[in-house]
Amino acid sequence: MQQEVLRVDGGMPLAVRRYEPAGAPRASIVIGGAMGVRQSFYEPFARWLSQQGLRVWTFDYRGSGDSRGDVPLRDVDADLFDWARDYEAVIDIARAALPGQPLYLLGHSLGAQLPGFLQRPEQVDGLVSIAAGSGYWRENAPRLKRSILYFWFVLVPLVTRLCGYFPGRRLRKVGDLPRGVILQWRRWCLDPRYSVGAEGDAARQSYARVRFPVLALSMTDDELMTLAGTQSLLGFYAGAPSALERIAPADVHAQRIGHFGFFRDQFSRSLWPSTLDKLHRLGALTTLAAQPGHTAVQHAGVPHTTA
């Protein structure tokens, strides 16, 4: 594993890690992390992917993890559009480093939402979405929905105003986030159309420019994300061929997967090899979705197309 620091938007540091295979890489993968999750969380999976012959890139969004540096978080001026630019900066270097091979994104939660705001989506050959969907509060999982309005209408505005950022680590909720990120995310989560509704027609058009295939893996025991939320997110990628696969813990002889479990090394013999196979077959989604906006949904290994 090699570490480096990119400079984006006039000097903002962006901490990046690169995992190299033993031989010549067959493809590049950029892992986009979830909200408040450090890139180190994805290290076991990234190392495993590199052992399969892939060059893997991970990163921390500006103001978070290793990209934060010594700057007080209250002084970090960043929102989710800035984080999308961070994502694209890593895509740029990954594409430049291996221009003749496919480049895939593997997005966990937020990491599968932000590719809708890429300025150059044509650089990407496909996206595997893990436990991701719209964050609209009515599409949250039942346990989360019971407390989420207090979170958005009381806790977030109050502590963000007092601290100048969201101190999620102390509150044991999400993680420490820049003010601009948490407040923009709040607007998204309170809008029935999530980011596309909150940001208007420019956001809708941005998602519509995406043409690379999107495969969404939805966990039946996800404590945060519902099937409806995942279907909404795929609907935002209106111009992209897409497929949705539901995964239950019993499918991989596990008691639990949840929102975060996919990346734990206990699944290195089940979920990980299966996803690697799907990654190499992303192009086949164009045949599973005959028309833009249709979604191929797979249950028990049998795909079919729905509008």
Identify the pLDDT of residue 127. Answer: 96
Q: Which domains does the chain have, with CATH numbers?
A: 2-141+201-306 (3.40.50.1820)
Question: What percent of the chain is modeled with pLDDT above 70?
Answer: 92
DSSP the chain: -EEEEEEETTTEEEEEEEE--SSS-S-EEEEEPPTT--GGGGHHHHHHHHHTT-EEEEE--TTSGGGSTTS-GGG----HHHHHHHHHHHHHHHHHHSTTS-EEEEEETHHHHGGGG-S-GGG--EEEEES-----GGGB-HHHHHHHHHIIIIIHHHHHHHHSEEEHHHHTSS-EEEHHHHHHHHHHHTSTTHHHHHH-HHHHHHHHT--S-EEEEEETT-SSB-HHHHHHHHHHSTTS-EEEEEE-GGGGT-S--TTTGGGSGGGTTTHHHHHHHHHHTGGGHHHH-SSTT-EEEEETTEEEEE-
Q: Cβ–Cβ contacts within 10 Å for residue 20, how many?
A: 12
Structure tokens at 84: 């999308």
First-to-last alpha carbon distance for the chain, in angstroms, is: 43
pLDDT for 299 beyond 60: no
Q: Stretch 30-38: mean pLDDT, rounded?
A: 97
pLDDT for 215 beyond 50: yes
**pLDDT band for position 12 (50/70/90)?**
confident
Identify the pLDDT of residue 305. Answer: 36
- Answer left, alpha or beta for residue 224, where phi above 0 means left and psi between -120 and 50 means alpha: alpha
Angle at 89 between CA 264 and CA 112, to 5 degrees: 45
Task: Give residue-wise pLDDT tens across range 181-199.
Answer: 999 999 999 999 999 999 9
Task: Give residue-wise pLDDT tens across range 41-61.
Answer: 999 999 999 999 999 999 999
Task: Give residue-wise pLDDT tens across range 242-281.
Answer: 999 999 999 999 999 999 999 999 999 999 999 888 887 7
Task: Give residue-wise pLDDT tens across range 134-185.
Answer: 999 999 999 899 899 999 999 999 999 999 999 999 998 999 999 999 999 9
pTM here is 0.92
pLDDT for 304 beyond 60: no
pLDDT for 284 beyond 80: no
Compute the distance between CA of residue 293 and CA of residue 241 in angstroms, rounded to an integer: 7
Identify the pLDDT of residue 84. Answer: 98
Range with top average pLDDT, 1-15, 23-37, 276-290 = 23-37
Identify the pLDDT of residue 9. Answer: 81
Question: What percent of the chain is modeled with pLDDT above 90?
Answer: 82
Task: Give residue-wise pLDDT tens across range 64-121.
Answer: 999 988 889 999 999 999 999 999 999 999 999 999 899 999 999 999 999 999 999 9
Distance (Å) of CA 116 to CA 104, 120, 127, 236, 283: 14, 10, 11, 8, 18
**pLDDT band for position 288 (50/70/90)?**
low
Interstrand relation of 12-19 and 55-59 (parallel, antiparallel or unpaired): antiparallel
